[in-house]
Amino acid sequence: MLYLVWSYFRKTKVVHTRKLKQKGKLSLFWSVVIQIEFMDIVFSIDSVLSSLAISDNPVIVLIGGMIGILAMRGVAEVIMKLMAKIPELQPMAYILIALIAIKLMLSIPAIDIEIPATWFGLVVVLAIVITMIIHYIRRSQNKHERNDNAG
């Protein structure tokens, strides 16, 4: 997870798309579709393993897996639309991924530092609020610059 964050902030978006186009003979569209499906599979396996820890009943595990896949699809679409309107959400998401990775590393048995879920939830909410404030400040600055240039 930390590698994803590091590679995102190290490279520009142009490099990402150029690299994606050059990797294989698939178009950019199909490469993205395959990556999304692969991530769905990974998250589905994760949710199935999580539900197996809660219940041994295969019907509950199956229903939970299907609900998880449907929920991920719906949430992913909403998030993609939001990210198109508010581009500052993408770097914020990577920062949150870094925080999740650090939280997971701290919780391994050798270190055994547990960060309370309430605190972590507050950090997530605070990150979203700060991101929205930054977005609206930038948007108002852009409006003022356009008005100054037009006049």
Question: pLDDT tens digit string along 79-128?
Answer: 888 888 998 988 998 899 889 889 888 888 888 888 888 999 999 999 99
Position 78 pLDDT exceeds 80: yes
Sign of torsion, CA 39 45 48 52? negative
| Domain range for 102 | 86-151
Same-domain check for residues 112 and 151: yes
Same-domain check for residues 131 and 116: yes
Same-domain check for residues 104 and 50: no
Domain boundary at 85, 114, 134, which? 85
Residue 49 half-sphere exposure toward CB, CA atoms < 13 A: 6
Least confident of 1-10, 93-102, 137-146: 1-10
Domain boundary at 85, 115, 142, which? 85
Q: What is the pLDDT of residue 121?
A: 92
Look at the chain and report how many structural domains it folds into.
Answer: 2
**pTM recorded for the entire structure:** 0.63
Phi, psi of 3, rounded to the nearest 5 degrees: -65, -40
Query: Under 8 Å CB-to-CB from 40, ≥6 apart: which residues?
Result: 69, 72, 73
Cα gap 128→131, rounded to integer Å: 5
Same-domain check for residues 21 and 76: yes
